[in-house]
Amino acid sequence: MEINYQNIKVIGFDADDTLWVNETYFREAETAFANLLSKYETANKIDQELFRVEIENLSLYGYGVKAFTLSMVESALELSNYNISTKTIESILNIGKDMLNKPVELLDGVEDVLKALSKRYRLILATKGDLLDQERKLEKSGLTDYFHHIEVLSDKKEANYSKLLNHLDINPSEFLMIGNSLKSDVLPLVNLKANAIHVPFHTTWAHEEVTEKEKNGKAYRTIKSLTSLLKLLN
């Protein structure tokens, strides 16, 4: 399907796993958590239970490392039948703290792409997660000056994007969203008659996966890396 980007005036970027590494650290944390609880359950069962608790807690805690850490603690209590030691609880909290202290590792070509596009378009950052953590990562990234507007959303559904576009007085047909998640960064925008480009990351949280039926008939492009944007929008 041919898609024309000549009318684009504003480009939005997701942050985690689009501009910098994020999900990799969650996979590492899940492995460390499973190792801590290995005497209570198998790694597969621990992963399943943690995911279940995470999803149940989304409406309470939202997204991000802090929410993930609380879900790890809750899962540990349940999986151990409330016999988990305070020392293990401390180790779980340290997994979360280690995640928050991770360096910000930019993906290949990110700054070059933002520098080039910022000369021709208005750029905004639209991400979800914990506000303090996202602000910290953005500051460490050195990318702040490329964005005209930065928004940390509680979620990335059609209503969230519609509110953001209205607030910034952006016509959906003139907006292009770039991100690694079909569920959060692409399909909601397509449904709003905006434009979106999918840039897959090598690992995806199960909650962000979509079915073939959900993708069917949706007009968007998929590119291998952000650097491909420059040629596509030339």
Q: Which of 234, 229, 167, 170 is nearest to 18 (CA)?
A: 229
In DSSP notation, 73-133 reads HHHHHHHTTT---HHHHHHHHHHHHHHHT----BPTTHHHHHHHHTTTSEEEEEEES-HHH
pLDDT on residue 215: 66
- Number of neighbouring beta carbons within 10 Å of residue 28: 14
pLDDT on residue 75: 98
Where in the chain are the domains? 10-20+104-232, 23-100
| Tokens, residue 134 | 């996202």
Q: Which residues contact 211 (CB under 8 A, 6 or more apart)?
A: none
Structurally, at CATH architecture level, domain 10-20+104-232 sits in 3-Layer(aba) Sandwich (3.40)
Decide: pTM greater than 0.85: yes
| Tokens, residue 13 | 């970027």
Look at residue 136 and tell me whether its pLDDT is greater than 90.
yes
pLDDT on residue 1: 55
Question: Model confidence over 155-172: pLDDT tens digits?
Answer: 899 999 999 999 999 999
Q: Does domain 23-100 have CATH number 3.30.420.40?
A: no
| Tokens, residue 194 | 């905006």
